[in-house]
């Protein structure tokens, strides 16, 4: 997403170059936690894994470095960008700032087609949330894609390409924390999404902004309330799981994932 594109699992349009396909795959693996924070990336190994030459992979890693997802270590090579609770808070605060501003602009300018996009996106998200609440956690990528599509639809009529690009980039970083911290707040987040839909159709930007602030800050507070040590270390694989303190209603990130 570093723009207004939705988070993907690495698939791209037909006709892409080998380098672009590798870029999408590598980026998705970072965002969805398949590559752990601070994981060392040896050029020869990652080049083989993603099917590129070493020189192409170096260019891709530098490109991801400009997005803040990779850290160059000088002569020592590259590593996946580290994470921390403080950085999570900063990312969440920036998402909140950008999305609240965009909501005000979008709600004022949105037309009937915009309303249709919002309603359609919410329907898809509510179906995915219902499945996850019922215990089906097999497809977190589709869940987060639907989450992105709904939040993007809400602000899609804001009239600013630059604002949408900035929001897309920060949402990606927020998404990464959600996947790393495996957050799913279940019915609480679903109700907040329903309330945002209602506010959009009523063009009530002020109330929507309040709901969004709660949506984001509650996620961050919940994620960081306990021992975060394990969340910010390498784990076996991505995907939300029940909170040990409260089952399905425990977490969401929406992102530090919704």
Cα torsion angle, 15, 20, 23, 24, sign: negative
Model pLDDT for residues 208-221, shown as the tens digit of each residue: 999 999 999 998 98
Alpha-carbon distance values, 23 to 18, 59, 112, 144, 186 (Å): 9, 10, 36, 20, 32
The pTM assigned to this predicted structure is 0.80
Place of tokens 């723009």: 3
Residue 226: pLDDT band (50, 70, 90) is: low
pLDDT for 41-83, tens place per residue?
A: 999 999 999 999 999 999 999 999 999 999 987 767 899 999 9
Q: In the sheet where 78-80 sits, what is the strand order? A: 40-41, 78-80, 70-72
pLDDT for 137 equals: 80
The confidence score (pLDDT) of residue 73 equals 79
Going by pLDDT thresholds of 50, 70 and 90, the confidence category of residue 186 is confident
Number of separate helices (H) and strands (E) present in the chain: 9, 3
Q: Which residues contact 143 (CB under 8 A, 6 or more apart)?
A: 128, 129, 132, 240
Q: How far is Cα 19 from Cα 51, in angstroms, rounded to an integer?
A: 9
Q: Which one is predicted more confidently, 252 or 69? A: 69
- Across the range 143-147, mean pLDDT stands at 92
Kindly provide the b/e burial profile for residues 157-178, where b requires at least 16 CB atoms within 10 angstroms of the residue's own CB: bbeeeebbebbbbbbbbbbbbb
Which domains are assigned to the chain? 18-31+38-80 (1.10.10), 85-232 (1.20.120.530)
């Amino acid at each position: 997403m570093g723009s207004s594109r939705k988070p993907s699992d690495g698939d791209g349009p037909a006709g892409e170059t080998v380098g672009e396909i590798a870029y999408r795959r590598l980026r998705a693996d970072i965002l969805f936690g398949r590559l752990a924070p601070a994981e060392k990336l040896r050029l020869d190994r990652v080049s083989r894994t993603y099917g590129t030459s070493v020189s192409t992979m170096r260019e891709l890693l530098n490109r991801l470095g400009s997005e803040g997802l990779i850290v160059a270590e000088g002569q020592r090579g590259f590593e996946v960008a580290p994470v921390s609770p403080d950085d999570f808070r900063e990312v969440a605060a920036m998402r909140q700032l950008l999305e609240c501003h965009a909501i005000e602009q979008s709600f004022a300018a949105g037309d009937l087609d915009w309303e249709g996009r919002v309603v359609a996106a919410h329907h898809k998200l509510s179906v995915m949330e219902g499945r996850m609440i019922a215990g089906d956690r097999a497809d977190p990528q589709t869940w987060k894609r639907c989450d992105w599509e709904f939040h993007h639809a809400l602000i899609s009529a804001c009239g600013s390409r630059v604002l949408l690009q900035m929001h897309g980039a920060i949402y990606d970083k927020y998404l990464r924390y959600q996947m790393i911290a495996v957050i799913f707040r279940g019915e609480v987040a679903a109700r907040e999404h329903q309330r945002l839909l209602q506010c959009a159709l009523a063009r009530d930007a002020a109330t929507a902004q309040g709901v969004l602030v709660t949506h984001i800050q509650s996620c961050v507070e919940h994620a960081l309330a306990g021992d975060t040590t394990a969340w910010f270390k390498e784990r076996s694989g991505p995907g939300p799981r029940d909170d040990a303190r409260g089952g399905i209603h425990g977490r969401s990130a929406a992102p530090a994932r919704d």
